[in-house]
Each structure stands twice: as structure tokens, then as C-alpha cells.
Structure 1
Amino acid sequence: MKRADIITIIIEKQKGVIDSLKQTVERYKTASDMDEESTHDPEDFSQQTQAKDMQLRYEKTLKEAEQNLAFLEGELKTSHDKIERGALIETDQSFLFVGISVPVFIFESKEVVTFSDHAPVFQNIKRKNKGESIEVGSKSLQIIDFC
């Protein structure tokens, strides 16, 4: 139950990220959509090009965020018994979720820390098992269970 509850919260946070990215894409799309028939300063066209570049960058980031959301939704029905992408680890002080990064939040009086499987911390903990200690930042944590 903890796993589904925590992942549901992460999903909601990821949906917020996606909404924000969609708004940003729309702002840059509007800025890059200039009427080319009207009279403009050459500087306007330069800014239009920059806006188009930013729009394309944010569209790429949005696509990645949507892929992460699909990953999270798939994780609602799975479980993990080792530290890998999608694992939720309960420690003596916090919960750790491997897969994507969202801001830290509290669940059942413990911080939930999320990070990518590309983050250096993942490389340091990926071979650890229940009962072992791990280092996350400056904290030493004891693995209690995999949720």
C-alpha cells in the first residue's frame, strides 16, 4: 500500500511539471510565431529564432516528462526486490525512489527522496540489500525493506 500511495504522490508532482512545461512551450510558440509580412526590425527576427529554439528544447523536455509519467503509471502495478529503476526503498529515516526526480516530500513522517537511475547516488547504492547501510548525501541510512 505504501508503494502505491507514494508513487501516486510522485505522479501528481510529475503532472504539475508537465503542466508547467506545456505552458512554457505555448509561451515560446507564441513568441516564435511572428507575422512575416509585417515590417519588423532584424532584431525581431533574431528573437523569433531564439524563441523557436527554446520552444523546441522545451518540447523535448516535455516529451521526456511525459515518458517519465508513463513509467510511473506502469510502476503502480509492479514491485522490486532489489535496487533498480522503479525501486522504492524504505530506510530507517526516509523512503528513496529510483527513476525520476521530483522535490522531496513527507510521507508517514519520513522524507521521500527521488532520484534518477543516472544519478551518482544510484551507482553507490545499486548493489545493496535489505539490512545494509547506504550513504545518501551526508546521511548514513539503513535499508529496512523494498516496498
Structure 2
Amino acid sequence: MDKSKILTEIAAALQEHIRHIEASVTRYKLASDIDDDDTMDPEDLSRQAEASDMQLRFEQLLLQAKEQEFFIMDHDDENHDSIVPGALIETDSHYIYIGISVPSFQLEDKTVLTISEKAPAYLAMRGKKPGDTLELGEHYYKIVSIL
């Protein structure tokens, strides 16, 4: 398993996620930036307030995503012998990275999953070692290696 290659792909997926969030921030910023003199209908003011709230929510998501970028950089050269934040786990069919959360994707013949250390799934797998079995939902996976 080439950890740096997999982390590069995870970072690329995170960058794509950040681009989508930035586009949403821009879209809601434009929707909330209506000139008060141009709004005659009280419903317009309501939509403007909703857009402003959504903008703030997406800005918070953007901040979290950028913190995840730093997390990857801070943990990229670490190797682990058990499941902890920053560990990259290899099973027979998946790579699982602990510490961030981006949508899953395919890399060669395996699915890459990322799991936040705040997720219940992480709590169930924390501390496991190569040779142990992971339970994710209704599926069981044997840990091949951990980096």
C-alpha cells in the first residue's frame, strides 16, 4: 500500500469538496446581497434572510474542510500499528482513512472511505490492529495493514 499516493487522492477529493462548498458560499452570498431599496415584497426579505443563513452554514463547512486539509498534512508521514486518527487502514476491499470525512471514491480496485474520529464508526474500530475484524454497518472487513 502506497500511503502517499492514497493520501494525495484523498486530498484531491477534499479539494473538490472545498470547491463545491466555495461555489455554494458564493451563490448564497449573491442571493443574500439584495439591495434593501429593491426589495418591496416581505417575502423577498425572508428569502434574503434564508440565503444569509445558508451562506453562514456553508462558510462554517468551508472552515471545517480547510481544517481537514491541515489534518492530512499534519499526519501524512506518520505510521501506526493500531487504528487512531491519521491511520490508513487497508482491508481486502477498502482503504479507510481516519480523521476527515469526504465522499467515498474508487482507487484502482478498492473503495476509499474516510471517517471522522467523531463518527460512531471510528469509536467502534479505535485501537484495532492488523488481523482484527472491522464491523461497518452490516459488513465485516479483515484488517490487512495499518499505516
Q: TM-score of the superposition, structure 1-length normalised?
A: 0.90
Residue in 1 aligned with 2:116?
116
Residue in 1 aligned with 2:139?
139
Q: CA deviation at 1:119?
A: 1.6
Residue in 2 aligned with 1:30?
30
Residue in 2 aligned with 1:58?
58
Q: CA deviation at 1:89?
A: 0.9
Q: Deviations over 1:48-67 (max 9, x none)?
A: 11111111111111111111
Secondary structure of the 1:129 match is coil
Secondary structure of the 2:36 match is coil
- Equivalent pair of 2:88/2:96 in contact (CA under 8 Å): yes
C-alpha distance in structure 1 between counterparts of 2:60 and 2:78, whole Å: 28
Task: Tell me how large the CA RMSD over aligned residues is.
Answer: 1.6
Please show how residues 81-92 of structure 1 align to structure 2 within 5 Å: 81-92=81-92
Runs of 4+ residues deviating >4 angstroms: none
Amino acid at match of 2:34: M
Q: CA deviation at 1:108?
A: 4.1
Q: Which moved more, 1:45-54 or 1:125-134?
A: 125-134
- Equivalent pair of 1:88/1:95 in contact (CA under 8 Å): yes
Secondary structure of the 2:97 match is strand
Are residue 93 (structure 1) and residue 76 (structure 2) matched? no
Residue in 2 aligned with 1:5?
5
Which 5+ residue runs of structure 2 have no aligned equivalent?
A: none
Q: TM-score of the superposition, structure 2-length normalised?
A: 0.90
Residue in 2 aligned with 1:77?
77
Amino acid at match of 2:112: V
Residue in 1 aligned with 2:47?
47
Which 5+ residue runs of structure 1 have no aligned equivalent?
A: none
Secondary structure of the 1:73 match is helix
Secondary structure of the 2:113 match is strand
C-alpha distance in structure 1 between counterparts of 2:117 and 2:90, whole Å: 17
Secondary structure of the 2:128 match is coil
Amino acid at match of 1:84: V
- Equivalent pair of 1:11/1:73 in contact (CA under 8 Å): no
Q: Deviations over 1:22-69 (max 9, x none)?
A: 111011111111112335212111111111111111111111111111
Aligned residues: 147
Secondary structure of the 2:38 match is coil
